[in-house]
Amino acid sequence: MSNKRYVIALDQGTTSSRAILVDHDGAMVDAVQRPFTQLYPKPGWVEHNPQEILFSQLGSLTELVARHGLSTDDIAGIGIDNQRETTIVWDPSTGQPIANAIVWQCRRTAKLVEELCGDPQTAQRIRAKTGLLPDAYFSASKVRWLLDNVKGARERAEAGELLFGTVDSYLIWVLTGGLVHATDPTNASRTMLYNIHENCWDEELLELFGVPASMMPGVRPSSGSFGETSYPGVPAAVPICGVAGDQQSSLFGQCCFAPGQAKNTYGTGCFLLMHTGADAIESANQLVTTIAASAPGVGHTEYALEGSVFVGGAVIQWLRDELGLIRTAAESEALAAEVPDTGGVYVVPAFTGLGAPWWDADARGTICGITRGTNRSHLVRAGLESIAYQVTDLVHAMEADAQRPIDVLNVDGGASANDLLMQFQADVSRRCLHRPHNVETTALGAAYLAGLACGFWSGTEELQALRASDDVFEPQMDAADAEKLLAGWSDAVRRARA
């Protein structure tokens, strides 16, 4: 066992970057968070400045280190979890990105995906190799767009002068002083360029999307070596030894190590994952098959079924920033509780289309059922309830695919702190919810993966023993009332898709 005191998790999210100090008991000792700018240059486009991501992440890390006077001797390892699919292309000779990062939410390449993957046979080959439904959500078409639309980029890429990576790869490359260009299987499996059965970049898909193989990072185990730190202001020679896409990291942080265990994260989007063990289940209900993060020594690839909701907690931001109905996100619960229900109002937050199980890029946001008596409390409550309805759609689809029930849904993420939302989720899904006292399981998963690789923790049994008792939400609503509400939701979705 390591005699060092901490592991550090770098939690690189869609709207902010955090550095989190985790001790032997799995407790978050401290966290530093820095937001960064969201860029919307055109309708449906979402970008980030990669260097602003980098500075927010490194700034939070150096502040955490300085605040606690940490040295190399104090830190057993660093784990990284990151927003997935978001695409960065950079010049390794200068470290400069060639353009802004194209964010996972961005829909600019929807028509490109239709052109390249519209043939049913091509779509099925992509599904069989990657576990993914062809969509602009994933990285492949984003890389293609950058190479086709940034002057000189394609020529430079084909000459071996550019690198591609999801955000984890870019952070690893910078933190190691440009020595390591790598990712892990969970992030690779979200690019739509990685064969999840053969565990390699797929030559046919690279050719289809026009991405030179020389751009691609090496793929290393999620709990394993990604080099050592070599960056000013960061303790030197600290192992980077845990990497996972944020949602697989959350599954790991929730200690969902066995087939059938499931979690839902309420973040900017919502992400429901069920561990399926060594079985890569192909969905018949518009979910995707993805690679799960594994502890060292498992000996085989582990998989998960996943359903993604594009707009989850982001609907609360919309109520606050665009409609001005609330001053803070925390205010949403109290305001929604002022009314017993929404008065028949439904909000369908299809701001960038609908994700699983619909995958409708053309759907648009809709508010249904407004009357003269509708007030802001009704609208805020309808916004919150829209999150639960979308997750319930995922639960039903996932249970059908896996042919097993989700008896317990583990929940985490920022919006899971909203008790009204969690109770409504239990009511309409008719499932028991378990919320751990530490809902920051995404960062905890990155810490766990790093800690297992460097000997900070002995194994998954020790991690399970660290988990504190849960808050439990049991269904309280009459089943017939829940079905009536779900029928109204289905009608509202139909209108949004029309």
CATH number for domain 6-245, candidates 3.40.50.720, 3.40.50.300, 3.30.420.40, 3.40.50.1820: 3.30.420.40
Q: What is the distance between the alpha carbons of residues 316 and 349, in angstroms, rounded to a whole number?
A: 10
Q: Is the dihedral of CA 491, 493, 497, 498 positive or negative?
A: positive
Per-residue model confidence (pLDDT) at position 2: 57
The type of residue at 375 is N
Beta partners for residue 308, in sequence order? 271
With a cut of 80, say whether residue 354 has pLDDT above it: yes
Per-residue model confidence (pLDDT) at position 437: 85
With a cut of 80, say whether residue 94 has pLDDT above it: yes
For residue 481, what is the enclosing H or E element? helix 479-497
Matching residue, tokens 């984890």: 168
Kindly report, residue by residue over 375-429, the tens digit of the pLDDT. 999 999 999 999 999 999 999 999 999 998 998 899 998 889 999 999 999 999 9
Q: What is the distance between the alpha carbons of residues 208 and 194, in angstroms, rounded to a whole number?
A: 13
Burial of 371 (0-12, 13-18, 19+ CB in 10 A): exposed
Q: What is the distance between the alpha carbons of residues 206 and 140, in angstroms, rounded to a whole number?
A: 8
Kindly report, residue by residue over 237-283, the tens digit of the pLDDT. 999 999 999 999 999 999 999 999 999 999 888 999 999 999 999 88
214, 159 contact by CB (below 8 A): no
Look at 37-51, 351-365, 484-498 and tell me which has the smallest mean pLDDT.
351-365
Quickly count helices (H) and strands (E) in the chain: 16, 23
Kindly report, residue by residue over 194-225, the tens digit of the pLDDT. 999 999 999 999 999 999 999 999 999 999 99
pTM recorded for the entire structure: 0.89
Q: What is the distance between the alpha carbons of residues 435 and 263, in angstroms, rounded to a whole number?
A: 10
Query: 260: closest CA among 476, 405, 418?
Result: 405
Q: How far is CA 159 from CA 206, 210, 465, in A?
A: 16, 13, 51
- Per cent of the chain over pLDDT 70 is 99
Per-residue model confidence (pLDDT) at position 36: 95
Per-residue model confidence (pLDDT) at position 467: 80
Give the helix ranges, DSSP H, for 79-162: 110-117, 120-130, 139-149, 153-158
Give 439's pLDDT tier (boundaries 50, 70, 90): confident
Q: List the chain domain ranges.
A: 6-245
493, 348 contact by CB (below 8 A): yes
Query: Would you report the helix, strand and coil content of the chain in percent, each value rounded to 5?
Result: 35, 20, 40
155, 75 contact by CB (below 8 A): no
With a cut of 90, say whether residue 9 has pLDDT above it: yes
Q: Which two tokens stand for residue 115?
A: 């052109």
Query: Where in 199-317 does DSSP place strands (E)?
Result: 200-201, 218-219, 240-245, 262-266, 270-277, 288-291, 303-309
The type of residue at 340 is P
